[in-house]
Structure 1
Amino acid sequence: MRGATDLMGTTRRAALTGIGAGLALSACSAPARGEPGDVLAAGQPAALLIWAVARERLAGWPRKPGPEALTGLGPGAGDLPELGALAGGGRPAHLEALAGVGARMVIDYGDTAPENRALADRLGRRLRLEWRLIDGSLANMPEAVREASALLGAGARAAALATAADDVLDRWRAAPAGPSFYYARGADGLETAFGGALATEVLEGAGWTNVAVGSRDIGRVTREQAASWDPEVLVTLDRTFARTAAASPSWRVRPGGGRRRILLLPDVPFGWIDRPPSLNRLLGCAWLADPGGSAAVLSELSLGLYGADPPATAKPRWLE
């Protein structure tokens, strides 16, 4: 497995530092044009997109972030109400209640399959609001920022974030191949994302090999099944699972006698590879592009996405 400092040379690290500088300069740019709180997010991915591009326009959270997550978001995040989701998971919104919010538009961010477009059209007509569905694919993130910026009248802040996303993704795609991994979700680690799933796109796109095969998307497996795949690394966002697995021979010991490493990725205010599948994934891409790089890069990218630098900016941790 490659060492942590082998992924990028000085040139790439300097380029990423430049990204941070651009975001820092734009963090205090003028607010977007439009009325405060006049845009509904169809789901949590869209809420994060709106928050990053023109946060003063967001009417509320489909699912309000918890107290720990709010410490990593900018001023005003905790004042927004929880409105429920119009699309995707979470508590469904009451359409009649939303009518009293005074919104002028709904932004959805995710799968643009025909059935989702048809659903957007139906809900938009019922709400009597313009409904804009933006492609939420990882590769489209820079264009998603630009599209949202055009819709919301955002300025330099959004432009800098779109440029940063372009540069991060270019370097993420160029990262050397990584280890095989099993993505352990939840406190018991027995929910996983199978190869090709949206939840592991950040890792797989950087050349890491997902050992989970035999199904699609997200599913439950047994500990014996996970062990039989024999990953080099256990990847998780769950701190409880990371502590449990670190002390568990059945998770740590490989069939040949070696020990698996555990990679604990940050999940505050949002996960670095999914949860939700939105712009937060840029942080995972940036780290995979340069694991040994300057913490300032991730700090400035967090500032651009969230409007605040999460306290003591979390970093991925290797548990040996």
Structure 2
Amino acid sequence: MEKKKLLIIIGAGILVIATIGLYSLNGISNTQPATPATKNTTTITDMMGRNLVIPSPIKGVLATAPPTSIAVYILAPDKLMGVNIAPSAINGSVYMPEKYQELPNVGGWTMMTPNGNFESFIEMKPDIVFDAEWGVGNFSDQLVDRQEKFGSIPVVGVLNAYTINNFDPCIQFMGRVLGEDGQAASLEEFYHRMLSNVTTRVETIPENERVRVYYASGPDGLQTALKGSQHAELIEFAGGENVADFEIAPGAAFTQVSMEQVTTWNPDLIIVDDPGFYKTIYNDTLWLSINAVKNHRVYLVPQSPYKWFDGPPGLNQIIGIPWTAKVFYPDKFSDMDMPALTREFYSKFYHYNLTDNEVKTLLNP
């Protein structure tokens, strides 16, 4: 009888110990907290064919260059954590919602923004970093190097971020990654409307009737982007002839030219990107002999929040497609309603509703 009681006690003890062990294995011991759930992720293939595991959904993004950071702002403004260049102002006003004007300027890695800092990017803890191909060097090697420096933050390779005649792949890909397919489709509709409106008209202009254009960049107007450069792409796209047609070193964005060279070219029309230079050109005796100045065909590029013509190249240039075409050929595009297109573009792309005075300021600086 005593032996039977002893066996019952031992069996009960074993059962208690096993039960405690079972609870511990299932993670609900009073002394050991439950393991937190892991972050949701998804696998994507970037535009260079690299498979990447990224957080899902994406909440915060940085980019290494202006074209991609501007694209993020256009597609999903609340997901952009910082910019590479500060937005431009006109008469002290920036034509974008104030909360986005206050985004920190984190710099980047281009000729325009050679001041990026990997530690600063990492400290902001973005879900991903978009890295754009610029046509300089080996982009695959660049991605490997950037990924190594950014560590566990996925670096997503983007192509076509500055190619005016082929923005579709960039818009579609970045829209999909950011979960903004609807916004991407709206942007593409506007983009294709501008493309078809301009290209179908300018392609019929004979070569000998095309306006000869000089792109005057910088505070003295004596820097320019050459024919074939991504920075002057709109000239040829809108049916003009870039007078700066000579070779420079591969990858160079701009070249310095002399006043004698500009005088020899004697362009019909001048596009200016610097407001200070624009204010002086009609009073500068060095420029007064040039046909474009004599005939009052000098045009300042609309500036805010990002330039329509260049600086930087990117989706901000889409409104520059109709603007440039109408500047070149006002008679051929007399039916183009630039105030209406400007309002539509700023609403869809910059999330900002322009006033009548702001439209006038943009179009008539």
Question: Into which bin does the TM-score normalised by the smaller protein fall?
Answer: 0.7 to 0.9
Gaps of at least 5 residues in structure 1 are: 1-32
Q: Which of 164, 167, 178 is residue 138 of structure 1 equivalent to?
A: 164
> Per-residue CA shift, 1:112-157, capped at 9, x if unaligned?
6661232122212321222222222212213211111001001422
Question: Is 2:260 the counterpart of 1:238?
Answer: no
Counterpart in the other structure of 2:212: 180
Q: Is 2:87–2:304's contact at 8 Å kept on the other side of the alignment? A: no
Q: Is 2:129–2:155's contact at 8 Å kept on the other side of the alignment? A: yes
Question: Is 2:142 the counterpart of 1:119?
Answer: yes
Q: Which of 319, 323, 348 is residue 287 of structure 1 equivalent to?
A: 323
Please state whether the residue corresponding to 1:181 is helix, strand or coil.
strand
Of 64-73 and 95-104, more deviation after overlay is shown by 64-73
Q: Say if 1:64 and 1:224 are closer, same or farther in 2 by CA, change over 3 A.
A: same
Q: Is 1:72–1:308's contact at 8 Å kept on the other side of the alignment? A: yes
Question: Is 2:129 the counterpart of 1:106?
Answer: yes
Provide the rounded CA distance (Å) in 2 between the counterparts of 1:315 and 1:154: 29
Q: Is 1:72–1:310's contact at 8 Å kept on the other side of the alignment? A: yes
Q: Which of 72, 77, 81 is residue 100 of structure 2 equivalent to?
A: 77
Q: Say if 1:288 and 1:90 are closer, same or farther in 2 by CA, change over 3 A.
A: closer
Provide the rounded CA distance (Å) in 2 between the counterparts of 1:252 and 1:315: 25
Which amino acid counterpart does residue 159 of structure 1 have in structure 2? Answer: A
Q: Which has the larger radius of gyration?
A: 2
Counterpart in the other structure of 1:26: none
Counterpart in the other structure of 1:307: 351
Gaps of at least 5 residues in structure 2 are: 1-55, 327-332
Provide the rounded CA distance (Å) in 2 between the counterparts of 1:60 and 1:42: 10
Q: Say if 1:316 and 1:175 are closer, same or farther in 2 by CA, change over 3 A.
A: farther
> Per-residue CA shift, 1:151-179, capped at 9, x if unaligned?
10014222101121122122232232441
Tell me how far 1:231 sits from its aligned partner.
0.6
> Per-residue CA shift, 1:189-231, capped at 9, x if unaligned?
1111111111110111111011113333411111111010111
Provide the rounded CA distance (Å) in 2 between the counterparts of 1:227 and 1:169: 33
Q: Is 2:213–2:268's contact at 8 Å kept on the other side of the alignment? A: yes
Please state whether the residue corresponding to 1:147 is helix, strand or coil.
helix
Q: Is 1:253–1:260's contact at 8 Å kept on the other side of the alignment? A: no
Please state whether the residue corresponding to 1:251 is helix, strand or coil.
coil
Please state whether the residue corresponding to 1:121 is helix, strand or coil.
helix
Provide the rounded CA distance (Å) in 2 between the counterparts of 1:66 and 1:297: 20
Question: Is 2:223 the counterpart of 1:191?
Answer: yes
Q: How does 1:115-264 map to 2 (within 5 A)?
A: 115-127=138-150, 128-135=152-159, 136=161, 137-176=163-202, 177=205, 178-216=210-248, 217-254=253-290, 259=295, 261-264=297-300
Counterpart in the other structure of 1:48: 70
Provide the rounded CA distance (Å) in 2 between the counterparts of 1:65 and 1:258: 33
Of 221-230 and 113-122, more deviation after overlay is shown by 113-122
Provide the rounded CA distance (Å) in 2 between the counterparts of 1:221 and 1:289: 25
Counterpart in the other structure of 1:18: none
> Per-residue CA shift, 1:263-311, capped at 9, x if unaligned?
2221221111111111111011022455542211121112222111455
Provide the rounded CA distance (Å) in 2 between the counterparts of 1:239 and 1:97: 32
Q: How does 1:4-23 map to 2 (within 5 A)?
A: none
Q: Is 1:195–1:211's contact at 8 Å kept on the other side of the alignment? A: yes
Which amino acid counterpart does residue 202 of structure 1 have in structure 2? Answer: L
TM-score (norm 2): 0.71
Provide the rounded CA distance (Å) in 2 between the counterparts of 1:60 and 1:258: 43
Provide the rounded CA distance (Å) in 2 between the counterparts of 1:87 and 1:130: 20
Which amino acid counterpart does residue 276 of structure 1 have in structure 2? Answer: P
Which amino acid counterpart does residue 305 of structure 1 have in structure 2? Answer: F
Counterpart in the other structure of 1:270: 306
Tell me which of the two structures has the higher relative contact order, counting C-alpha pairs closer than 8 angstroms and 6 or more residues apart: 1
Provide the rounded CA distance (Å) in 2 between the counterparts of 1:202 and 1:269: 19
Provide the rounded CA distance (Å) in 2 between the counterparts of 1:226 and 1:156: 46
Please state whether the residue corresponding to 1:40 is helix, strand or coil.
strand
Please state whether the residue corresponding to 1:167 is helix, strand or coil.
helix
Q: Say if 1:116 and 1:250 are closer, same or farther in 2 by CA, change over 3 A.
A: same
Please state whether the residue corresponding to 2:299 is helix, strand or coil.
strand
